[in-house]
Structure 1
Amino acid sequence: MPPSTSQRNPWRYLRDADVLHAAVVTLLAVVLSAGIVWLGYVVHVWNIARRASTTLPGRWVVLVFGRQLVADQPEADYRGRLTRALAMLRGGMASRVLLLGGRSGGTRSEAEAAHAWLHGQGLPAGAPVELEQESVDSLENLRHARGLLQGGDRAEVLPPVALLTSRYHLARCLLLAQRLGFDAHAVAAEDALPCTPRYLALLLMEATYLMWIDLGVRWARLIGHRRMAARIS
């Protein structure tokens, strides 16, 4: 499948009335709770990041989330995810691996760059690896992965999946996957939760994203705003 010509651009969502509606609701919740609501999401993201395992018993369909490339190559966080995927393949824990990610500013997709990197690291011959090159964010990653796994038939039951990504990213991916109907389980790229200022900033940012998504959908359901609620379905 050729990669999408769409590129990763988080600001594109700010042109969407439903997304802005959710942002206003989220801001009001934070202000009216004196920040307590946001702190609750921070704790949730932190706990999932801290407790996530690096292995799962049995064999899994593994969804490896992409990350923006640097000079058309996987950067450090992305290489960590791919290293874990390679270990799962070599250890017999992966029955199927989907590399997720379209173009993020370079000349090739995140999935394509990841596949090339894995080959350079000794990807086993015949490894069950597939590329999903149409998505430009985590929600699209999961929607397109769902389509691949269902073969275009929405009535087909999805297999349980392992979501493989960086620890800071796991809570958001789990929430989105569950909203899209997956039986999803987390697999962390890092052996342990890094304790660095950069990682703390990423965790706080993820808590904000998660709160925005979760409160927006809850509010949409509360007021019966079907279009808004359907944004994550």
Structure 2
Amino acid sequence: MPPPPPQRNPWRYLRDADVLHAAVVTLLAVVLSAGLVWIGYVVHVWRIAGRAPTTLPGRWVVLVFGRQLVANEPERDYRGRLARALVLLRQRMAGRVLLLGGRSGGTRSEAEAGRAWLQRQGLPDDAQVELEQESVDSLENLRHARGLLQGGDRAEVLPPVALLTSRYHLARCLLLAQRLGFDGHPVAAEDALPRTPRYIALLLMEATYLMWIDLGVRWAGLIGHRRMAARIS
């Protein structure tokens, strides 16, 4: 029997010296700019979230990002992503779908739970749906998806991909995909950008994550810290 998929554990990053290094640099940038740097990232995240399309021209490889399961089932945001993927499959806009996500508190992976949900909703018989269930965060989602698409051959050119996720999550996924060599195009799960307090809080949180990642990578390049820069590559 194969080993179970890895478990999501965001607290592991608090033990990572490079991540903490990036956090200190980010905090200094926010303080020295009186918060203007963070506001810039908020605007960027909001703009991408609001402008992202929900359809695709032609047939694409679609990467569907998972989210932590609740009672071993997809929660609201993840169901929205899966529902959009189902629409793309039925409209022949998705030629190949990769469901991304390892274990996050349940007995099965996010990818496996996502496939089961799609099957209950009436997955087309000819749908090409694959599971990536070794990852525990968005960066690993994309890194493992890259391996699947290249078939283990790093020299093989990656096809353009559609990054399907919730609107608040798109900016971070686009940045990570670009760093990993993808030609990534955003596709939003929601028809329009929600304006609820919960959603605004998620957008602000994503802006903070994005700032942390982006400034950390830029700082690593500036000081020639190869190990730190290689964390997102």
Band of TM-score, shorter chain: over 0.9
TM-score of the superposition, structure 1-length normalised?
Answer: 0.98
Partner of 2:100: 100
Q: Percent same amino acid at aligned positions?
A: 88
How do 1:151-166 residues align onto structure 2 when only pairs under 5 Å count? 151-166=151-166
Query: RMSD over aligned Cα, in angstroms?
Result: 1.1
Structure 2: runs of 5+ lacking an equivalent: none
Partner of 1:80: 80
Change in CA separation of 1:225 and 1:4 when aligned onto 2, cut-off 3 Å: farther
Partner of 2:41: 41
Matched, 1:214 2:220: no
Give deviations 1:176-214, integer Å, cap 9, x for gaps. 000000000000000000010000000000000000000
How do 1:13-162 residues align onto structure 2 when only pairs under 5 Å count? 13-162=13-162
In the alignment, the residues of structure 2 paired with residue 108 and residue 100 of structure 1 have an alpha-carbon distance, to the nearest angstrom, of 13
> 1:4: how far off?
4.6
Partner of 2:6: 6
Amino acid at match of 2:148: L
Q: How many residues align?
A: 233
Tell whether the 8 Å contact from 2:5 to 2:133 is kept in structure 1 after alignment.
no
Partner of 1:170: 170
Change in CA separation of 1:192 and 1:160 when aligned onto 2, cut-off 3 Å: same
Tell whether the 8 Å contact from 1:139 to 1:232 is kept in structure 2 after alignment.
yes
Matched, 1:227 2:223: no
> 1:25: how far off?
0.2
Give deviations 1:109-153, integer Å, cap 9, x for gaps. 000000000000000113100000100100000000000000000
In the alignment, the residues of structure 2 paired with residue 11 and residue 208 of structure 1 have an alpha-carbon distance, to the nearest angstrom, of 17
